[in-house]
Amino acid sequence: MQAEIQLQRLSYAFSEKHSLGPIDLVVGRGERVAVLGASGVGKSTLLALIAGLKSPRSGRIIVGGQDVVGPTPRVTVMLQRPALLPWATVSENVGLGLRFSGLARRDPAAAGRRVRELVDAVGLAGREGALPSELSGGQQQRVALARALAPEPEVLLLDEPFSALDIATREALRTDVRRIVRARNTTLVLVTHDVFDAAVTCDRALVFAGNPGRIDADMSVGEEGIEYLTEALRAA
């Protein structure tokens, strides 16, 4: 499997007494990896480093064979809260990334097709003109997912995207995430506290412990692996 993400002796300092790494990690192209662990061990910071939103103290971050030195369209992030523009419609919110990438200006027809395709893929066909205030929490997260996928990133980073949802909505959305990223062969890194999120959405799990924040366990997961993953979390 070709490497999509490579972390080489990556470290980051929160303060003099709190740090992350050094971490060595390879994530293959199209691989789906969950990152679990207690609060404060650096899971969300790891995503910010991969996305180029934070700079490491030392080490290298390589995505698609290129060093990450700042934000890149090859990597997009979906957060716990959808953070939609309240005055913009579903289609306008989904197309926001295409405006920043320049596709909406260069080829409006192609941008429109991509927006329609993604709105349909996340199950919101017919709601293109709705405002965020007219959507449920789960629907808003679906819009955020489509917006993150619009630039066709090589890597999708999800930071606790299901945690604020009710159980039924959570189950449906994480199943849809797995289906969509598999269909596009998008590399996925998911930060979560929930072993079921990891088991349903991903094929591999990294259990983080601290301090310093580090990978304490690296294992394959699935429905049959939930018990082992739970035990690894308890031991971390």
pLDDT of residue 201: 87
Structural domain boundaries, residue 115: 85-151
Is residue 167 included in any domain, yes or no?
no
pTM: 0.85
pLDDT of residue 211: 78
Domains identified in the chain, total number: 1
Give the chain's mean pLDDT: 84
Is residue 61 included in any domain, yes or no?
no
pLDDT of residue 229: 60
More confident residue, 32 or 97: 32
pLDDT of residue 191: 92
Is residue 172 included in any domain, yes or no?
no
Per-residue pLDDT tens digits for 193-223: 888 888 888 989 998 887 788 888 888 876 5
Is residue 112 included in any domain, yes or no?
yes
Is residue 67 included in any domain, yes or no?
no
**Which amino acid is residue 80, in one-letter code?**
Q
**Which amino acid is residue 62, in one-letter code?**
I
Per-residue pLDDT tens digits for 46-85: 999 999 898 888 889 999 888 888 888 789 888 878 889 9
Please tell me the distance from the alpha carbon of residue 16 to that of residue 119, in angstroms, as a whole number. Answer: 45
**Structural element, H or E, at residue 35:** strand 32-37
Is residue 166 included in any domain, yes or no?
no
- How sure is the predictor about 225, in pLDDT bands with cuts at 50, 70 and 90? low
